[in-house]
Amino acid sequence: MALITEKELKHLAELARIKLSEHEEKKLLKDVEEILEYFNQLKEVDVSNIEPMTGGTIQKNVFRNDDDPIRKEINATDEDLIEAFPEKEKRFLKVPPVFE
């Protein structure tokens, strides 16, 4: 049985907001199927009583104060960041309409 169907792939692409061409869909379906098959080897590993390793860090719950002026550590002015907007009106980031 296939691990992933064409319908599932289409749905995933939609969730990831990636538009696929029909040709790419076919190739991707084959690639993903093969990779998922390879992942099947993990089924044989016994992980009972094993705590998941949820990240790479040894740090736990790193907090900072809300008034910590961390923004000052970054060498960009507000204008630098506004300048980088792909589309703007005055000092606002312009976003296309959500509803037509």
Partner 1 sequence: MEFLHDLTIKKFHEGLKKKKFSALEITKEFFDYINDKDKEIEAYLSLNKDFAFKQAEAADLAIAKEEDISELTGVPLAIKDNILIKGLPSTAASKMLENYTASYDATIITKLENEKAVFLGKTNMDEFAMGSSTENSAFKKTKNPYDLERVPGGSSGGSAAAVASSMAIAALGSDTGGSIRQPASFCGVVGLKPTYGAVSRFGLIAMASSLDQIGPIAKTVEDAAILFKSIAGKDKLDSTSVDAKYGDELLNPKLENIKKLKVGLPKEYFIEGLDDYAKKEIEKAIDKIKSLGIEIKEISLPHTKYALSVYYIIMTAEVSANLARFDGIRYSRLKNLEPRNLLDIYLKQKGEGFGPEPRRRAILGTYVLSSGYYDAYYSKAQKVRRLIRNDFDDAFKEVDIILTPVSPTPAFKIGEKTADPLKMYLSDIFTIPLNLAGLPGISIPVRKYEKNKELPVGFQLIGKPFQEADILGLGQFYDRIT
65 binds partner 1 (CB under 8 A): no
DSSP secondary-structure letter at 43? G
Contact status: 13 vs partner 1 (CB under 8 A):
yes
Q: Does 97 bind partner 1 (CB under 8 A)?
A: yes
Q: How far apart are CA 58 and CA 46, in angstroms?
A: 25
Q: What is the 3-state secondary structure (H, E, C) of 50-67?
A: CCCCCCCCCCCCCCCCCC
* Sequence-distant (≥ 6) Cβ neighbours of residue 37 within 8 angstroms: 3
Q: Helices 6-15 and 22-39 sit at what angle, rounded to 10 degrees? A: 100
Question: Which neighbouring-strand residues pair with 89?
Answer: 92
1, 65, 86, 90: residue in contact with partner 1 (rule CB under 8 A): 86
Does residue 98 bind partner 1 (CB under 8 A)? yes
Per-position x/- string for 40-59, each x denoting binding to partner 1 as judged by CB under 8 A, each - no binding = -xx--x-x--xxxxxxxxxx
Q: Which positions lie near partner 1, rule CB under 8 A?
A: 4, 8-9, 12-13, 15-20, 24, 28, 31-32, 34-36, 38-39, 41-42, 45, 47, 50-59, 62, 64, 68, 70, 73-76, 80-81, 83-87, 93, 95-100
